[in-house]
Structure 1
Amino acid sequence: MPYESDKIKLDRAKSVLSRLRTAIYEPLGDLNVTAWVTREPVPYSERESGERLNALKPGDRWAELWDCAWFRFEGRVPECAAGRKVVLLLDINGEMCVVDRDGHPYQGLTTVNSTFDYSLGLPGKRVVDVSDSAAGGEVVDLWADAGCNDLFGSYHGGLLKEACMAICNENYRQLYYDFEVLIELAEQLPEASARKAQVLQSLYEASLILAGLNEDSVDRAAVLLSAELQKRGGDASLSVSAIGHAHIDLAWLWPIRETIRKGARTFATALRNMEKYPDYTFGASQPQLYQWVKDDYPALYAQVKERIREGRWEAQGAMWVEPDTNISGGEALIRQILYGKRFFQQEFGQDMKVLWLPDVFGYSGSLPQLLRKSGIDYMMTQKLSWSVYNTHPHHSFHWEGIDGTRVLTHLPPEDTYNSPAAPRSLAKIESQYLDRNVSGHALMLFGIGDGGGGPGEEHLERLSREKDLSGLPPVVQESSLAFFRKLEKEAGKFQTYRGELYLEKHQGTLTTQARNKRYNRKLEKELRDLEWLASLQWAAGQTEYPSDSLERIWKEVLLYQFHDILPGSSIARVYDESLDRYAALTAEVREMKAQACAQLAGSAGWDGEKAVFNSLPWERREWIQAGGDGSWRKVVVPGMSYCRLADATVDAVVPALTASERQLENELLKVSFNEEGHIVSVFDKPAGREAILPGAAANVFTVYHDDGDAWDFPRDYRDRAAGQMKLAKCSAYVEGPRAVLEQRYTFGESELIQKIILTSSDPVVRFETEADWKQSHSMLRVSFPVSVYSNEVSCDIQFGTIKRPTTRNTMIEFAKDEICAHHYIDLSQPDYGVALLNDCKYGHSVQGHVMDLNLLRSPDYPDPTADRARHQFVYALYPHVGDAIQAEVGRKGYELNVPLTLAEGKMQQGRERCEPVTLIRIDHPHVMLESVKKAEDSDHLILRLYETAGANAQADIAIGLACECIEESDLMEQPLHVLQEGSSWAALSFAPFEIKTLRVKLAGPQ
């Protein structure tokens, strides 16, 4: 007689699985439910302060989206449940955190209807244990803090779904997971394998036993299946390290305030599961999240600290948050690491060795150096698996940055941080691991992430059956650091990948929510200035260094660099709140900066007189508007110093300037316009050549149809132009040393007003722009076809530049059409080039001769009001002789972003007179001083420098203060070696794009 077919065996087993699932819980009766509803969260002590809703029943409405409530669930275990395992089944169609009798988070719950990728599993958590063996008669009186939103901010009607007491048939539950794991195992095994045939046969026989579902049949089926579950895998070629995880977006489809509660729910759930599953190892990243839990839930935080001390809980990552690494500035990325590592060291005594960035939208080529110079040896991410056109060639590899620094990097081969930890997970890891020929180790991140929650019982039950199950690679629960220690032993066999890790997706995030990006750029620069000024005051002994204020401000700026805030991919409420906070932070920093300038000028003896400050490390010769009367002065200000305005002013005769509707001209450039207002010529007089491609028009504002979302715009947008903004009005005038053409453009209901400016003796065309943008589903770009031929464009990134192709010869080049740059992009031949500078934009495209800047986007999701607002931005065109390095384009980019500062001196009573100092002199044009600050944990001055040209450099530096000792340190401000003692001079040797941090012990007052 032939055997039954495999399909029928599998279908029979799946049918039993479904029956087992519904048989696990036997309802005993509904609970009494009361809720107190508020618009915003309130603490446990005020839990009865909201609108009271009595006697809620399943199906009753309790709230609207983002409402909060304290729920009280009451009941009594019936006598018939004596000796049985009793649980509560709670589902409010939202998120909820059960608290203990003191109001501390105990366990997180999530509606089973939560939005999620169900191919990865079901995200709901609804079970609360009452007793493993009830006595009968126990009183249940439970409080829970609730939010009317699911894991991803979705609204499910605000209806109470379930609130009952139930018996948990534990043997049914265990058998359910036996069936589930073996069914999936059979589906993953090769068709002709003996193992697959035997597993299916055992499942089939167990299914026949379970024709009648009762205690006896369940016990007999469990014995039968245990034989298959006990079969071991033997010597394995690949082993999997599994770490429980809940990647929590600090804001996204929910506001920041809800993230704080998500953290509490997730952490509490992890702690409860650790009590049930002794092998469970959980990890959580982002010190900001830990800080919130510490501040708002100290008792919960104490439990977390204990688990970290035991080694069951891994503190992950090395950055304050998981930031966008394309848009964040270089010094900001260092501060992410500095504050992140310090937090974990101070709180848990642990030195973080792994950069944990599972979900960011591309990875700057500067990162490897930042990591290694911060004591970080490894990096983990998985987002590259989202690329659209090309597959990244490795899962385990050495990533080499723009300076040649390498860091060992691993991408979990399952391509997710939401692994269901199921047999299909392990099978995919084994089959898809691109480096399995040279590596026997891979990482798996399991649990419910993004919206939080982490692993549930289903993940841990599966893993308990999969430790060394025949037919699958063995899996062990351990920390990611333990995994990387294993991987490192194989690292000699791994390949090297050089340059940025470009994600072929989410290019729209370089532009969306432009106001946030502008605030971020401005604050990064304002903080740079403020720290320099504060360092000068502190070094002179005038004031205490404002360490606490600067740390507080920096940490909030770093929070808003989170990879769903700064990139523009969150809901409207996130930006309503961040823009308010950005405005407040900017005002605070500017006030601190103004006070510092006034005090420094006053202490120099210039009480009531104006002074001009230059925080860049080279002398600047510029025109500034110096008075309320609008008068202009040509000033010369030394680098990293300040002087009285009267002393800085030099005699300057303004040559004849031309300003008309068709032409602007100074002694260096002649800019011509057509009747539509577009630039048709930028003639470089000293070079005797044209910068704009003959026959083409530049500074053209093109509007494209954009039916994408915050992350992505259509790849074929160039073929979907909606039209060009039309010139409505223009006027030309000369204003002091500036020739100005003011233009007003319109498109639909939107308006753009731009001042195109040529300043005397300045080889830069400046475009000061204000836009009132009201278009929806639209993208606004400006283009410059230039008379330069080059296959590569130089792009300014953190601590260096990267060259990207201007051709589209391959799919890799095609996929990198939209590229990120900070201060500038530059298209140069050996003899001539043109740079496009900006003060707050990041999205660019360069194809052939055309340099294109992405100005605004207005998608509908997840914020239907994105970028429909008033905007300000500046960009500039800089034609130059030679390439970008010879023309010092980098300096032009800094000057556009870091203007000179004017202040009126104000003498402070009792202050010592303090002469201006040039803080540092650098004798090499390609060495930049990025930041000056007081050290975090000592009385040293920190100076951060880097080489800008991608070449070796020998530079002498002279510090304008008496020094006891000059040391080189790492980025964490720990000393490496002494450079000079008893001298204010030191010689430095830079490799291409190398960052050097100096740690200076001053001999002055401080």
Structure 2
Amino acid sequence: MSDEIYLVANSHIDLSWLWTRDETIGKICPETFVNVLNLMDKYPLLCYAQSSAQVYEWLEIHHPEIFRRIRKKVREGRWEIVGGSWVEHNANLLCGESLVRQYLLGKRYFMEKFDVDVKVAWLPDSFGFCWTLPQVLKKSGLEYFLTHKLKWQVERMKPPIPFPYYVFWWESPDGSQVLAYHTVGSYSEDVNPMRVLEQLASLKRRHGLNKLLVLFGRGDHGGGPTEGMVKEALRLMEIVDPAVYPKVILSTSERWFKDVRSISKSLSFPVVRDELYVKTHRGTYTTEARVKLHNRRCECLLLTAERFASIAMLLGMAYPSEDLKNAWKLLLLNQVHDNLDGTSIEEVYIQAEGDYGEIYRIGRKVLEEALNVIASKIDTRCGGLPVVVFNPLSWCRSDVVELSLEGELRAVKALKIFDCFGREAPVQIVEGGQKAVFIAEDVPSFGYKLYCLTPSSEESIDSGLKIGEFFLENEFLRVEVDGKTGFVVRIYDKVNGRDVLSDSGKGNALQIYEDRPPNAPGGEPAWNMYLGSLTELEKAEEIRLVEKGPVRATIKIVRKYGGSTFEQYVSLYRKIPRIDFTLKADWHEKYKTLKVAFP
């Protein structure tokens, strides 16, 4: 069988990175796609691949004539829609439902606007992939997966340990498989005959495969294929003697995947049953932490709003499908790899703050309306203030509830709270009378439980917590704090009869790492972690028991470093098998990274 080279024109477009989306919408996309469309009109053999439903929706809204021309090329089979997702997303920081929504909204858009069922997942520039992604892809109707960065290395790895495969079956824990391709070259190649031959030789040595897929065209800031690239590809296609040069095809990526799959049994490609880890860019899991926090909070808010809106719909509320879809689209847009990973310029994150604000507004509005509809059907008559506790999760739960106290309740000495069966639960007034906390027990899944709160002249019932100056204990856990250093020296799991921490005696430790600026040796703070310098804060300015109540007990530790002050709170609750570690940081350091460590 003769060698074959499949040339696929593309342009990797970062929707925002060193520029904002406004430039992408107004300049990068229209200029790139007009260039591609004009080349396709001039050279009928040229095919082109483009991902990201968000890009197409922007074109539909802002550049309808370009959108119309693209639809024509799609119908001709020459413009290949790839990816299937709303954007080229991060694949390690998202919840499972966000991954599903990326492909649900993306594939639905492509089907509605182009009548195309996308088969090739396309994430060439994302920074690593969770092990469950093949399951999401397969169940979303995708068969193939293309990426690039797995072989990138950090300089300090000697010898380097490159990702060993170009073509492999990627299998998730449930057994779902997709045929995966790690590009031999980059995703922005020139059509360079000698470089292409070198890549083909590498592929043949590694897998015995004589069919090479090459992605050519300018990328990141758009551009796509140049006329020179197309002419060189056509020149190579005219060579018919395989002894002179392998057969060259201007192709789509799906054609290559199908052709490779047809011969895969004879080549026995390896099966990877693991995450796909990128050994560089590890700083992206910590930098721009606020967007990661916004993303997680928005995921939880939208899912909670959807669940209770679905229940409220059964009680007569109109389901706010359009509002929720718009909120999800904003969230999916901000999950694009450079944004959520924290590698973009500050202007991008200023814009993102507005997006997250709109998501919060929509989510809270929907949730409040839904809960009000449900609560209106509940008989809340009791001898005090009714408190309805909702559980948005799919299992029965017992957990902490925090109430804001208003009016005369802020002046009372004590409170009592009873559930709908008349059983008293301990309640504790905190934050100088502004709030109260209690444990809501056995709240049913996707359901609620009614409580009644009343003023009292007597303290709440005993909780069974064991509390000392430097230790806290309930029926599940015992936590001990060193009275001199403030380190957590022991966490004992009473249920399983084992110590959780190592013998170092330094749990809940604050560690300061140097975070080198971009112009320093090894400095690239948005992308990588510099681990050459570590300072552990061993001195505590203050260690004291600050809460000792029937619901919660808390030890406070204060530390200082440079111009920064840290307040650490270690809290244990009655009947809850969990310790809460809270850190409040008044941070004034530059080019430093703070880590909380539990050895």
TM-score of the superposed pair, with normalisation by structure 1: 0.52
Matched, 1:273 2:81: no
Q: Which residue among 340, 343, 349 is the counterpart of 1:575?
A: 349
Counterparts in 2 of 1:643 and 1:695: CA distance versus 1, 3 Å: closer
Matches within 5 A, 1:909-924: none
Q: Which residue among 219, 225, 228 is the counterpart of 1:449?
A: 219
Matched, 1:391 2:169: no
Structure 1, unmatched stretches of 5+, are 1-235, 786-1006
Matched, 1:513 2:288: yes
Match of 1:720 in 2: 533
Match of 2:572 in 1: 758
1 CA distance for matches of 2:246 and 2:153?
27
2 CA distance for matches of 1:476 and 1:781?
52
1 CA distance for matches of 2:23 and 2:114?
26
Match of 2:586 in 1: 772
1 CA distance for matches of 2:486 and 2:170?
47
Match of 1:343 in 2: 109
Q: Which residue among 783, 787, 794 is the counterpart of 2:597?
A: 783
Q: Which residue among 199, 218, 223 is the counterpart of 1:429?
A: 199
Structure 1 or 2: larger helix share? 2
Q: Which residue among 323, 345, 355 is the counterpart of 1:549?
A: 323
Matched, 1:669 2:477: yes
1:537-572 Cα distance to aligned partner (Å, 9 max, x none) = 1233x1121111111000110111100011111111
Match of 2:310 in 1: 535
Instruction: Point out the structure with max Rg over C-alpha.
Output: 1
**CA deviation after TM superposition for structure 1 residue 652, in Å:** 6.2
Matched to 1:395, the amino acid is: Y
For the 8 Å contact 2:343–2:527, the answer to whether it is kept is: no
**CA deviation after TM superposition for structure 1 residue 516, in Å:** 0.5
1 CA distance for matches of 2:387 and 2:153?
54
Look up the SS of the partner of 1:292 in the other structure.
helix
For the 8 Å contact 2:282–2:529, the answer to whether it is kept is: no
For the 8 Å contact 1:320–1:337, the answer to whether it is kept is: yes
Matched to 2:227, the amino acid is: E
Look up the SS of the partner of 1:588 in the other structure.
helix
**CA deviation after TM superposition for structure 1 residue 631, in Å:** 3.3
Matched, 1:747 2:555: no
Matches within 5 A, 1:151-550: 237-261=2-26, 262-388=28-154, 389-414=160-185, 416-433=186-203, 437-469=207-239, 471-492=244-265, 493=267, 494-540=269-315, 542-550=316-324
**CA deviation after TM superposition for structure 1 residue 721, in Å:** 1.0
Matched to 2:173, the amino acid is: I
For the 8 Å contact 2:558–2:565, the answer to whether it is kept is: yes
1 CA distance for matches of 2:254 and 2:35?
23
Look up the SS of the partner of 1:432 in the other structure.
helix
Higher-RCO chain (CA-CA 8 Å, sequence separation at least 6): 2
Matches within 5 A, 1:62-211: none
Matched, 1:737 2:502: no
1 CA distance for matches of 2:359 and 2:558?
32
For the 8 Å contact 1:316–1:356, the answer to whether it is kept is: yes
Look up the SS of the partner of 1:283 in the other structure.
strand
**CA deviation after TM superposition for structure 1 residue 379, in Å:** 0.9
Match of 1:89 in 2: none
**CA deviation after TM superposition for structure 1 residue 723, in Å:** 4.3
Matched to 1:713, the amino acid is: N
2 CA distance for matches of 1:270 and 1:320?
22
2 CA distance for matches of 1:772 and 1:577?
25
Q: Which residue among 368, 373, 386 is the counterpart of 1:599?
A: 373
Match of 1:954 in 2: none
Counterparts in 2 of 1:695 and 1:406: CA distance versus 1, 3 Å: closer
Look up the SS of the partner of 2:513 in the other structure.
strand
For the 8 Å contact 2:4–2:246, the answer to whether it is kept is: yes
1:746-771 Cα distance to aligned partner (Å, 9 max, x none) = 22222322321111122321112222
Counterparts in 2 of 1:623 and 1:290: CA distance versus 1, 3 Å: closer
1 CA distance for matches of 2:306 and 2:138?
25
Identity across matched positions, percent? 32
Matched, 1:690 2:499: yes
1:711-738 Cα distance to aligned partner (Å, 9 max, x none) = 54346x1x41144375333442224411
1:908-934 Cα distance to aligned partner (Å, 9 max, x none) = xxxxxxxxxxxxxxxxxxxxxxxxxxx
1:603-647 Cα distance to aligned partner (Å, 9 max, x none) = 234388431111222222234234514333332211221132249
Matched, 1:639 2:416: no
1 CA distance for matches of 2:597 and 2:349?
28
For the 8 Å contact 2:8–2:216, the answer to whether it is kept is: yes
Counterparts in 2 of 1:646 and 1:449: CA distance versus 1, 3 Å: same
TM-score of the superposed pair, with normalisation by structure 2: 0.86
For the 8 Å contact 1:621–1:635, the answer to whether it is kept is: yes
Match of 2:432 in 1: none
1 CA distance for matches of 2:485 and 2:80?
61
Counterparts in 2 of 1:686 and 1:446: CA distance versus 1, 3 Å: closer
Matched to 2:563, the amino acid is: E
2 CA distance for matches of 1:538 and 1:592?
11
2 CA distance for matches of 1:404 and 1:398?
11
For the 8 Å contact 1:513–1:568, the answer to whether it is kept is: yes
**CA deviation after TM superposition for structure 1 residue 430, in Å:** 1.4
**CA deviation after TM superposition for structure 1 residue 480, in Å:** 1.0
For the 8 Å contact 2:122–2:147, the answer to whether it is kept is: yes
Q: Which residue among 706, 717, 720 is the counterpart of 2:515?
A: 706
For the 8 Å contact 2:312–2:371, the answer to whether it is kept is: no
Look up the SS of the partner of 1:566 in the other structure.
helix
For the 8 Å contact 1:568–1:710, the answer to whether it is kept is: no
**CA deviation after TM superposition for structure 1 residue 478, in Å:** 1.4
Counterparts in 2 of 1:402 and 1:744: CA distance versus 1, 3 Å: same
Match of 1:619 in 2: 396
2 CA distance for matches of 1:686 and 1:342?
48
Look up the SS of the partner of 2:183 in the other structure.
coil
1 CA distance for matches of 2:336 and 2:564?
30
Match of 2:457 in 1: none
1 CA distance for matches of 2:317 and 2:205?
57
Counterparts in 2 of 1:598 and 1:499: CA distance versus 1, 3 Å: same
Counterparts in 2 of 1:587 and 1:624: CA distance versus 1, 3 Å: same
Counterparts in 2 of 1:587 and 1:297: CA distance versus 1, 3 Å: same
2 CA distance for matches of 1:722 and 1:754?
18
**CA deviation after TM superposition for structure 1 residue 684, in Å:** 3.6
Look up the SS of the partner of 1:512 in the other structure.
coil
Counterparts in 2 of 1:475 and 1:598: CA distance versus 1, 3 Å: same
For the 8 Å contact 2:203–2:210, the answer to whether it is kept is: no
Counterparts in 2 of 1:644 and 1:514: CA distance versus 1, 3 Å: same
2 CA distance for matches of 1:687 and 1:285?
50
